[in-house]
Amino acid sequence: MPDSSQRLLRHPDFLKLWTGETVSVFGDAITGLAVPLIAASVLNVTAFEFGLLNTLGMLPFIVLSLPAGVWVDRMRRRPIMIAADLGRAVAIATIPAAFALNALSIWQLYAVALVVGALTVFFDVAYQSYLPSIIERDQLVDGNGKLQVTQSAAQILGPGMAGALIGVLRAPFAMLIDAASFVWSAAFVGWIRKAEPPIEPHDEATGPKPSMRGEMAAGLRYVTGHRWLRSIAASTGLANLFGNVGGAIFVLYLVRERGLSAAAIGVAFSLGSFGVLIGALVAARLARRFGLGHTLVLASACGGLEWLVVALAPDALIWPAAVASVFVGGLTAVVWNVNQVSLRQAITPPRMQGRMNASMRFIVWGTIPVGALAGGALGGAIGLHPTIWVGAVGSLVAFLPVALSPVRSLREMPAAAEDGADGEAEAEPA
């Protein structure tokens, strides 16, 4: 009998989802480079205006994640994904249209950043919640791994491809390709034939229908009250917190205190990014070889070495240390994410998938801006190298919540939870 990986390559609905996602993430690489170039070179914005553009792009991920989880659990996921794709296509297409009419402004870029960010929140929460409805539970690690391969390839190859296209088409018009990629993604998602499980209607016998606020609170209670999910959230949140303490001043540290040129840093980051691709390729194999729980603990513990190699490196070895840092960070993060996301999807009842994914994202992404702000503040107060050490030491302990939890004993993907009346039933190992 073919293994789960081979079966996925013959799975028509998964291949449609994977194809649409592949085109879309490569299109995103164009916009990721084109929008900053438009702001900097076409509109000549100030440093404050430039920073605000990035902030507005991230704001929906913090503000809308919890409400998005409620909506995703109340509705079918595939229509949400299609609507989000088409909405992003329209929003992005307004930029080259306005540029052609000589009407483009920074305010339009702000609006597009907010709209695209908001729609991406809904798409991502629906997407993670939708995957378990089209593939089997034992295929989740392989499925998430294959989807991560695409994202990894886009991270490595995307900027170069985007730069070439922008050079030929100019940045505003190159964004038409990203708009087209979202239409392509919507078409392939719409082509999926497997029906989603029906949305269970509210049982009036249990009382009035919960409010939006009540359902958001239920999602947070589910995550924080679940012995496996809360440990995963704690380890991920700590890793994001201290990783961004170091990450906030990493480039500045390499330039000002270690004397690396922009070209040397660019090459180091490009070489190190191959860790992301390798992580995507080996994530499922490691789980099969060492067991799911041991793989998660190992990935989290080794991820703590990312900043330690930089903190310890002498000047003569700082460039290879930067390569190693990016490589280790990318590899371990992908192995961790592929396996922990698959575990979350496998054990969560269908009616709680959206709120679970949204709550996890809210918790673990909420530490990112805190870490970045702390890194900047510490860099000015105690110096750049000591701040790298703070990030390194903190990252080294991020594995403890998952290592000290029952997650470490999981050998295989556990059985799915039964959906109780409150949606907060815990899964038990198979």
Domains present along the chain, CATH in parentheses: 4-192 (1.20.1250.20), 219-409 (1.20.1250.20)
> Which pLDDT tens digit goes with each residue over 127-182?
888 888 888 877 888 888 888 778 777 766 766 677 777 777 888 888 898 899 99
Quick one: pLDDT at residue 424?
40
| pLDDT band, very low/low/confident/very high, at 204 (cuts 50, 70, 90) | low
For 320-342, what is the mean pLDDT?
Answer: 92
**pTM for this one?**
0.75
Quick one: pLDDT at residue 71?
87
For 99-113, what is the mean pLDDT?
Answer: 92
The runs of H, that is alpha helices, within 42-138 are 47-63, 65-74, 77-100, 106-130
Q: Which of 114-118, 295-299, 413-417 has the lowest mean pLDDT?
A: 413-417
> Which pLDDT tens digit goes with each residue over 62-98?
888 888 888 888 888 899 999 999 999 999 999 999 9
339-342, long-range: CB < 8 A, 24+ apart: 339/141, 339/283, 339/286, 339/287, 339/292, 339/295, 339/296, 339/299, 340/232, 340/236, 340/296, 341/128, 341/144, 342/140, 342/141, 342/143, 342/144, 342/413
Averaged pLDDT of the chain: 84
The answer on pLDDT for 212 being more than 80 is no
Q: Token digits for 317?
A: 């070895």
Burial of 165 (C-beta count, 10 Å sphere; 0-12/13-18/19+):
buried
270 vs 275: CA distance, rounded Å: 10
The CA-based diameter of the chain, rounded to the nearest angstrom, is 71
The helix/strand/coil state of 267 is: helix
Quick one: pLDDT at residue 63?
85
CA Rg value for the chain: 22
Quick one: pLDDT at residue 191?
92
Give every CB contact of residue 160 below 8 A, 6+ residues apart in sequence.
none
